[in-house]
Structure 1
Amino acid sequence: MDTIEVYACSPEEIVSKFQTSQIVGLSQAEAQLRLKEYGKNKIKRKQNWRWAKLILGQFNDALVWILLVAAGLAFIFQQYRDVTIILIIVGVNAIIGFLQEFKAEKILDSIKKLTTDQTQVIRDSKKQEVDARFIVPGDLIFLAAGDRVPADGYIVESYDLKVNSFIFTGESSPEKKSAKVIEGKNVPIADIDNMFFMGETVVTGEGKFIVTGTGIDTELGKIAHLTGEMQEILTPMQKQMRKLGRSVTIFAVLVGLSVMIVGYYLGLSLYHNFIFALALAVSVVPEGLPAAISVALSLGMKRLLKYNVLAKKLNAVETLGSVSIICTDKTGTITKNELTVTQVVINNQEVELSGTGYSSEGHFLIGSKIVNPSEIKNLELLFRIGTLCNDAGIVSKDGVRTIVGDPTEGAIIVAGEKYNPKERYYEIGETKITENPFSSERMRMSVIYKNSETLSLVKGSPDVMIELCDFIKINDEIVPFDKEDKDEIKKMYNNMSAQALRVLAFAYRNLEDVDKNKYLEESEKSMTWVGMMAMIDPPRQDVKKAISECRSLGIKVVMITGDYEITASAIAKKINLIGEAGSYEVISGKILNELSDNEIYKKIIQKDVIFARIAPEQKLRIATILKNNKQIIAMTGDGVNDAPALKKADVGVAMGIIGTDVSKEASDMILLDDNFSSIVQGIKEGRTIYGNLKKFVHYVFTSNASE
């Protein structure tokens, strides 16, 4: 059933269409029958005679074709020595290329992230663990925080449900989903919030959904299939070698014919005349060139691995060296995709935090001076509120720390660790009584804790929180929150927002004098303002230098992101991708649709350009426009919907850590560390190889001509 039909249905219609129940689920017997009908729930990697193609691909070269034709003719005239030599040369070349590309395929297989192995299915009214491969349409699935969605489906129950749709949208901010009906046609996946899609991850809450698509019939599967159907494109060197092959063929034929004509007039026999002509014609062909190119590219592949760049094909190495434009994503490539608190406002004073990502290492600075955070009054209270009014957690595996839950709340916990690493959650001796969860309508969250006193701890949007607070705590005093203080706070908040910082405010109320039955009702009234935290997904440390190196290499860098214009611009300025106002242009997805292909190309060439709020199909359009104008482009991507654009680009570059399997399959290269700087190192390596190969080709033809 098509996604468009599904999201517009009511729960009753879904139950009817899939002959299931949103309470009982399918019976075990019915599930087995449907498994036979629909097949296993997995996206098969399109084989297309995978290994045979890998082997035959080594012979897809103009000079190799010429050598094979020469070997065939030599065989006809019983010149077995020549046949043996030519076939050995061609065979060695094929073996070198095959082994390197086979090795790359094995590395790719080892880093691929597989879909969830087990999921909770309700069958015959019983909740049970089932291998995700055996899920079928009509199954009733239960998901909770931390679970990955194993198939596409319609949500029938939801409780405070937030989902990370990064693989489809490219942005890590959780999106709220719920059981409801959506009206309208052609609604983008990012806006279909009554359905789950295979590959998404539940951040908070829980819910149930009825499976509507499995395997190749999921949105993930459809994109994987579409990408597999796209034709391979020739690399710059392949185009040049084909042109060179045609020239060599014509020259060799002319040499051979000339020799045969001369031999005919000299009275040589047809046999000896042909053998002599064939020998001279073959001598024109640089039989060692294909093997030399393969060796050079193989060594290049090995060197690229040192920079955490995995080239899946030999030809991708030289293509990378020819790149003129890099189209890069923001989240996870330019940045680490790890939201970080960079600033707090306490006692009406701004304090900066150093360090990036989920590491608890960092300093507190006032101005440019490092200060002891324990000496800043009320800072412990700020982090106490932030870490207690919080549902996230941090897990560490193999030395890598990840957030479980909302990334915003995770960033607050990390900031709290920088203040006091020993008491990560500040929960010693505290008892949680109740919680008033965050909602987009209220724009805040509160929890009530009981210790020596009963406190309501609240965090939320500064705009909302300012109006709910009657007092402010400054140093050791609690004073009325007057208009002057509020205006000062609003000014700081607006300044931080203008820098694309995500800002949260924190306050509390003592409930000792409040009736227990009115805790929730009174918990967010007449509060005391404590401070704010500002956070952003900051750029990687070495990206700024990499952008500068791109400029010195004559390479243009274009940021293409699904994020908002203000955020994209702020990050671009931090890495010197854009300069002062007027020297660059930010083009939103809406504006892009109003521009012609020619207008878009002119803007990219004439100015520094950022594309923001861009959909995957628009990313593909940009790649097509640049290729149609003879630009050689490298395109980065990590989500499922990036796959067509990666396939279209001369060099598709997928992310090894956060990238989806589909994007890795569609790409020519994989950044094992997800770092933009690795691309630049790869380009420099590719240019060195490309330059050396051109010198070698010139030498070989000069040498053969003299022979």
Structure 2
Amino acid sequence: MKLWQRLFTSFLKRFHLTRFFGRSQSFKELHQSSYAQEINNTLSTRLIQAAQLDSTALFAQLDSSASGLTEQQAITRQKQVGLNEVAHEKPLMWWQHLWYCYRNPFNILLTLLALVAFFTDDLTGASIISVMVVLSTLLRYWQESKSNQAADALKAMVSNTATVLRHQVSFDDLALMQQRYQINIKNQKNTEFEIPIQYLVPGDIILLSAGDMIPADCRILTAKDLFVSQAAMTGESMPVEKFAQQKNLKENNALDLENIVFMGTNIVSGTAHAMVISTGIQTYFGALAHRVTATDRVTTSFQMGVNKVSWLLIRFMLVMAPIVLFINGFTKGDWSEAFLFALSVAVGLTPEMLPMIVTSTLAKGAVFLSKKKVIVKRLDAIQNFGAMDVLCTDKTGTLTQDKIFLSQHVNVQGESSDYVLMQAFLNSYYQTGLKNLLDVAVLEAIDQEVKTQKLAFRKIDEVPFDFERRRMSVVVKTPQAKVRMITKGAVEEMVKVCAYVEIDGKIEALTAQRRAAIEALTQRYNRDGLRVVAVAYREFSDEQENFAVADESDLILIGYVTFLDPPKESAMAAIKTLHEHGVAVKVLTGDNEFVTQKVCREIGIDCDRVLLGGVIETMTDQQLKKAVERYTIFAKLSPVHKERIVEQLKANGHVVGFLGDGINDAAAIRAADIGISVDTAVDIAKESADLILLEKSLMVLEQGVTEGRRTFANMLKYIKMTASSNFGNVFSVLVASAFIPFLPMLPIHLLIQNLLYDISQIAIPFDHVDDELIAKPQRWQPEEVGRFMIVFGPISSIFDIITFALMWYVFSANTPAQQTLFQSGWFVVGLLTQTLIVHMIRTAKIPFIQSRAATPLLIMTVVIMCVGIFLPMGPLASYFKLQALPLSYFIYLPFILIAYMCVTQIVKTIYIRRYGWQ
């Protein structure tokens, strides 16, 4: 690291400004750094002690019980410890938000220029520069506040909850809980309640299952095949198994405790009962977040693009301002006046409204999407939406209806069987893990008579679902007092653990011939668009009480349940529209290839070739990088496969979006440029996403894509306008300074002109965008901005020079005594051409005829042009060191403006033919 970088970093740390200028460290880095040493030792000690205590002692220590806290205990405890929230999740204070809106390269540069003007007694210049900075900052503050309020209103509709046990719940408690937690008591079990996680307190007993985000630091009381992803805390890529007992009682590293789970991690598979030990800032996650309150996000392509363009313009200013200084200093001899003029040129070259324009357009996009029931968690994601050229999506609930119907329940021979349905029902009913749509379909398909039969069965144990086995089991005591394991899952995985089949009540060996028949039957169902789940069982001796994955062997296959997941009616239109907008849609699913192809064929996605997860497993990254371009459908994928596909698409230069709602989608959502989830998704999917859809519809995505492109196009308009007009002004100043014996324009004139021009740009976020500009993905191209500036900037200089000649020869403004008239003449032409360039550059078409600006922009243009003419002609002229122009000047003015617009249009046509138009 260079010396200046080290000094700057030290300065930021010394005054706690890293939130505003630098990125925060990841929690893994923090754990490995000196920050970890600063974490309160009491926290680690508390967790280690909790891990070592038996459950009885733990209950006594936290004044709780196996059935949880009473509601009154929870209320009292929350008053003591506060809400279960960490520091970085809280909104910025108003002054922090204001500072955040102020700090950008341009505002800081303008502030320095204002200070220089102030200390050189140019109070007018300092005042105008200050107005620009304040205007830019306050507008951005107002826009972001407005957008945040809209987003917060929607976020209130999407809250993460936890299942908590309550002890001795009275009728009064039920009423209090319904009011306090805003929950529907009718949908709660007697002792289990879904409450918002911010109301959890130490001592609460919570239930955890696959897909849950862990809402606090907890001690595991009971666990069944519990695997937890701790990547957010430790950086471990593989899930870690957790148990109810700590085996190594000498363990002194809190993160390695086997019966402690941490806030911010998530359950991959299995179930557990856990006791909350610490909440909010007292959690391990909260303690780390308290040290560095900024979220750790990699710089996006949007941010990098803005930064590159910003520094391009700043470098241009740093080169041109000194040239203006030296030319005017040597030719006029008045170095102080030359310095002030160069300072004004520097201000004029600085696109001080860029931060406000960027934020305004993004905020407008966020408000637009909020009306479409889309929560924008990060404003930058809107532009990424517009840049997206590949959308990866899960199949179930996205391309298909968010409702799966039980179609058939058949035995091994394909004949309808109520016995198979009953076993599938018992499996779905008694499992306590994450009930997917298939389980819901089974439960809803059973009539009341069958449901009463479950009373004759008693649950003993279960082996939860995970994505490697792709099956789950429950163990019940049958009415005949037999211990039976009932297993259901993906056909190919089930066949691997089955040794027998049941045909007409007889148990026979599962031969190779029968395996072939099973494969043929299930593939026939798949080709009909049905999803097939196999059902099997095995009976055990009465002595066995605990069961594990190893017991899922030598099963007896009894049949299948098939499900219909019809495509959404809007899916075909949405896919077609996305394709028309240059967005390729790729389907990434864990389902089998036959069902996926059937659905894709019906909605218009190319389905001739499918790449399976098993094949991806054998591919190198280089091979997969080529394969992701050739294939559109990827089936039988694991979560790791989905993540790899997204990463390889990004490596190929694509901007990738991922839409998913399951546990198996979370890693891919994180890896994508823009992660999209839905409000019904599991917690980890919602936490990983940049956007949350309150309606799972691809049509909303298409609208988001077009809005993102509209947002980007409006931002780019301002940058192109500012860059080209600024370059033209400086070029004109250089020419005039070299040949005219006085300043062509006073510093105050440049500042006022720039201020008025910037005010006219406030309406840009509300401008129309041509259909051609939203028909394809849009990305930042800094080199295009530089070329555009060099080509279009000198056009205005041509007409500035014509104006110089007009004022010099026609109106005889050719002596220092007549310089005010000269400056007034150029002031009007300069402001009007600079304002009109907005309409020339905002579209590739002929302005006002083929493409007309939005009404707000037209109004602002007319207002600013009128103000520009009024200043020299009105009573304020002398104050601004201007003077009234002769009426004959206004005979020449329209010809100059019309000629300027015509030449610009001709050059624009040539430019588009050669370089295109972004």
Q: Report if TM-score (shorter chain) is over 0.5.
A: yes
Identity %: 20
SS in 2 for 1:116: strand
Of the three residues 308, 313, 317, the one matched with 1:252 is 317
1:102: which partner in 2? 148
Q: Identify the structure with the greater strand proportion.
A: 1
Of the three residues 673, 678, 700, the one matched with 1:650 is 673
CA contact (8 A) 1:322 1:687 kept: yes
Provide, for residues 222-266 of structure 1, a one-character-per-residue CA deviation record: whole Å limited to 9, x for no partner: 999999887434444543443333333344344433333332234
How many angstroms apart in 2 are the aligned matches of 1:409 and 1:90?
A: 55
1:585: which partner in 2? 611
How many angstroms apart in 1 are the aligned matches of 2:210 and 2:666?
A: 25
1:113: which partner in 2? 159
Provide, for residues 600-638 of structure 1, a one-character-per-residue CA deviation record: whole Å limited to 9, x for no partner: 32222343352754345x666555554454432324455
Asked if 1:86 is matched to 2:132, the reply is yes
Asked if 1:71 is matched to 2:114, the reply is yes
Provide, for residues 507-551 of structure 1, a one-character-per-residue CA deviation record: whole Å limited to 9, x for no partner: 9xxxxxxxxxxxxxxxxxxxxx99964125555443344333333
Aligned CA distance change for structure 1 residues 699 and 71 (closer, same or farther; 3 Å): same
How many angstroms apart in 2 are the aligned matches of 1:281 and 1:442?
A: 69
TM-score normalised by structure 2 residue count: 0.50
CA contact (8 A) 1:413 1:425 kept: no
How many angstroms apart in 1 are the aligned matches of 2:259 and 2:285?
A: 17
Aligned CA distance change for structure 1 residues 317 and 681 (closer, same or farther; 3 Å): same
CA contact (8 A) 1:101 1:313 kept: no
SS in 2 for 1:265: helix
1:668: which partner in 2? 690
> Which range is displaced more, 230-239 or 209-218?
209-218
Which residue type is aligned with residue 372 of structure 2?
Y
Of the three residues 448, 454, 464, the one matched with 1:425 is 448
1:262: which partner in 2? 327
CA contact (8 A) 2:628 2:645 kept: no
CA contact (8 A) 1:388 1:425 kept: no
Aligned CA distance change for structure 1 residues 619 and 223 (closer, same or farther; 3 Å): farther
1:44: which partner in 2? 86
Asked if 1:686 is matched to 2:716, the reply is no
1:90 Cα deviation after fit: 1.3
Of the three residues 488, 492, 495, the one matched with 2:524 is 495
2:388: which partner in 1? 323
How many angstroms apart in 2 are the aligned matches of 1:436 and 1:665?
A: 34
CA contact (8 A) 2:406 2:564 kept: yes
Asked if 1:21 is matched to 2:54, the reply is yes
Asked if 1:595 is matched to 2:620, the reply is yes
Aligned CA distance change for structure 1 residues 642 and 690 (closer, same or farther; 3 Å): same
CA contact (8 A) 1:42 1:214 kept: yes
Which residue type is aligned with residue 144 of structure 2?
F
1:518: which partner in 2? none
Unaligned runs of 5+ in 2: 1-27, 29-46, 65-72, 169-189, 232-240, 249-256, 464-470, 507-512, 538-556, 729-795, 797-829, 831-918
Larger of the two Rg values belongs to structure: 2
Provide, for residues 569-601 of structure 1, a one-character-per-residue CA deviation record: whole Å limited to 9, x for no partner: 4577455544213xx423449716x513x3332
Which residue type is aligned with residue 631 of structure 2?
K
Aligned CA distance change for structure 1 residues 608 and 530 (closer, same or farther; 3 Å): closer
SS in 2 for 1:46: helix
Asked if 1:542 is matched to 2:570, the reply is yes
Aligned CA distance change for structure 1 residues 693 and 278 (closer, same or farther; 3 Å): same
CA contact (8 A) 2:98 2:137 kept: no
Asked if 1:468 is matched to 2:502, the reply is yes
Aligned CA distance change for structure 1 residues 637 and 57 (closer, same or farther; 3 Å): farther
1:78 Cα deviation after fit: 1.9
Q: Identify the structure with the greater helix proportion.
A: 2
Which residue type is aligned with residue 612 of structure 2?
V
Provide, for residues 103-156 of structure 1, a one-character-per-residue CA deviation record: whole Å limited to 9, x for no partner: 25524641342443743689xxxx9999987766xx795859999876677876
CA contact (8 A) 2:526 2:532 kept: yes
Of the three residues 559, 569, 583, the one matched with 1:555 is 583
Aligned CA distance change for structure 1 residues 289 and 177 (closer, same or farther; 3 Å): closer
> Which range is displaced more, 195-204 or 236-245?
195-204
Unaligned runs of 5+ in 1: 3-13, 169-175, 184-191, 351-377, 394-402, 417-423, 451-456, 473-483, 508-528
1:397: which partner in 2? none
CA contact (8 A) 1:121 1:141 kept: no
Higher RCO (CA < 8 A, seq sep 6+): 1
How many angstroms apart in 2 are the aligned matches of 1:94 and 1:555?
A: 31
> Which range is displaced more, 677-686 or 44-53?
44-53
Aligned CA distance change for structure 1 residues 274 and 564 (closer, same or farther; 3 Å): same
How many angstroms apart in 2 are the aligned matches of 1:40 and 1:567?
A: 52
Q: RMSD between aligned alpha carbons?
A: 6.0
How many angstroms apart in 1 are the aligned matches of 2:347 and 2:324?
A: 13
Counterparts of 1:261-660 in structure 2 under 5 Å? 261-330=326-395, 333-334=398-399, 338-343=403-408, 392=429, 407-416=437-446, 424-426=447-449, 432-434=455-457, 467-470=501-504, 491-496=520-525, 501-503=531-533, 533-535=561-563, 540-560=568-588, 563=590, 566=593, 569-570=596-597, 573=600, 575-581=603-609, 584-588=610-614, 591=617, 595-596=620-621, 598-608=622-632, 610=634, 612-615=636-639, 623-636=646-659, 638=661, 646=669, 649-660=672-683
2:758: which partner in 1? none
1:411 Cα deviation after fit: 0.7
CA contact (8 A) 1:636 1:652 kept: yes
> Which range is displaced more, 287-296 or 598-607?
287-296
Aligned CA distance change for structure 1 residues 151 and 312 (closer, same or farther; 3 Å): closer
Which residue type is aligned with residue 672 of structure 1?
L
SS in 2 for 1:303: helix
How many angstroms apart in 2 are the aligned matches of 1:94 and 1:568?
A: 49
Provide, for residues 170-224 of structure 1, a one-character-per-residue CA deviation record: whole Å limited to 9, x for no partner: xxxxxx99989999xxxxxxxx9999887989999x9756779977999998999
Aligned CA distance change for structure 1 residues 197 and 447 (closer, same or farther; 3 Å): farther
How many angstroms apart in 1 are the aligned matches of 2:317 and 2:597?
A: 59
Aligned CA distance change for structure 1 residues 656 and 264 (closer, same or farther; 3 Å): same
1:321 Cα deviation after fit: 0.6
Which residue type is aligned with residue 502 of structure 2?
L
Number of positions where the alignment pairs a residue of Structure 1 with one of Structure 2? 584
How many angstroms apart in 1 are the aligned matches of 2:633 and 2:521?
A: 29
CA contact (8 A) 1:42 1:215 kept: yes
Which residue type is aligned with residue 53 of structure 2?
T
TM-score normalised by structure 1 residue count: 0.62
SS in 2 for 1:634: strand
CA contact (8 A) 1:121 1:128 kept: yes
CA contact (8 A) 1:321 1:685 kept: yes
CA contact (8 A) 1:386 1:413 kept: no
